[in-house]
């Protein structure tokens, strides 16, 4: 990216800049920061991933991750935050991928809220990652400005760094899943913004579509009841499919998970 420099961070002053950046993004309750200066220092010193993106000398994005199990195979990306727009998040992920490949790692994992459409599109379409596990109330109660008032369900995204669809995605060719004509919607967005269950045929369909709300953060402010109905609905439908061995193969039209049941 023109004018943007990406690099690993190693000094206390740099970690303090990251802390302030994340504080401005999440606005957490006291004691609820996603990562502390001290922890970034320890992770970096132990050989883990702490990196920043700078534009004109100003920190505009950062990412913190640590090596996971099995040893020598996985980097877990704990938190990434960027100022909106300009492709900084994508650039940070490419930097993270290059860092992992240089160390012989095969995949990068992270968690995200399955209700947030823009994150699902970014993770599945732009990067080619795949949700492989549904994690109910993963972080417990969260008091930051983004997550307060909702349960912290997450899905585990797995980015298999050398698969063909991932190689295409990092070249700038987003993954577009094929939707067979007999696909059935198991969950759709209703006229009031809340979730509506699909027809009974979804129970036996080979390919199932699971919608999420257009903007869950705005819906929480405008209609908390409708917003609150999405969490248990997606937990039951998407979480149930993953628990039963189905595979998420993409995110269609920036709105729906594409899920394939095992034959």
In this predicted structure, the answer to whether residue 107 has a pLDDT above a threshold of 60 is yes
Computed over every residue of the chain, the mean pLDDT equals 93
DSSP string over 171-233: TT--------TT-EEEEEE-TTSSEEE--GGGGG-SEEEEE--S-HHHHHHH-HHHHHHHHHH
Give tens-digit pLDDT for 192-246. Answer: 899 999 987 677 889 999 999 999 989 988 998 999 999 999 999 999 999 999 9
For the entire predicted model, the pTM comes to 0.93
**pLDDT at position 185, please?**
95
Rounded Cα distance between 152 and 184, Å, is 28
| pLDDT tens string 12-43 | 999 999 999 999 998 988 888 999 999 999 99
DSSP three-state, residue 259: strand
CA-based nearest residue to 130, from 4, 8, 257, 3: 257
What is the pLDDT at residue 146?
63
Q: Report percent pLDDT > 70 for the chain.
A: 95
Greatest CA separation found in the chain?
A: 57
Distance CA 180, CA 91 (A): 33
Q: Is the pLDDT of residue 141 over 80?
A: no
Q: Would you state the pLDDT for residue 143?
A: 59
Cα distance between residue 8 and residue 51, in whole Å: 4
List domains and CATH numbers for the chain.
4-170 (3.40.630.30), 184-260 (no CATH)
Mean pLDDT over 132-147 rounds to 79
């Amino acid at each position: 990216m023109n004018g943007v420099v990406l690099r690993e961070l190693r000094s206390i002053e740099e970690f303090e800049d990251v802390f302030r950046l994340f504080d401005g993004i999440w606005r957490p309750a006291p004691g609820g920061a996603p990562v502390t200066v001290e922890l970034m220092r320890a992770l970096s010193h132990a050989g883990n991933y702490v990196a920043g993106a700078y534009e004109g000398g100003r920190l505009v994005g950062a990412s913190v991750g640590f090596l996971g199990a099995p040893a020598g195979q996985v980097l877990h990306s704990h938190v990434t935050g960027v100022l909106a727009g300009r492709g900084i998040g994508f650039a940070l992920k490419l930097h993270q991928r290059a860092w992992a490949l240089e160390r012989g790692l095969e995949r990068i994992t992270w968690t995200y809220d399955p209700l947030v459409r823009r994150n699902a599109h970014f993770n599945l379409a732009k990067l080619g990652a795949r949700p492989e596990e549904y994690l109910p109330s993963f972080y417990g109660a969260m008091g930051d400005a983004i997550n307060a008032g909702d349960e912290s369900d997450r899905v585990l995204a797995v980015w298999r760094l050398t698969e063909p669809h991932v190689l295409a995605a990092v070249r700038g060719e987003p993954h577009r899943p094929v939707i067979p004509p007999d696909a059935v919607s198991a969950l759709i967005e209703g006229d009031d913004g809340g979730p509506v269950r699909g027809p009974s045929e979804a129970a036996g369909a080979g390919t199932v579509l699971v919608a999420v709300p257009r903007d869950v953060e705005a819906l929480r402010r405008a209609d908390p009841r409708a917003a609150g109905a999405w969490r248990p609905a997606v937990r039951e439908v998407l979480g149930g499919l993953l628990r039963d061995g189905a595979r998420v193969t993409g995110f269609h039209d920036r709105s729906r998970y594409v899920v394939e049941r095992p034959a």
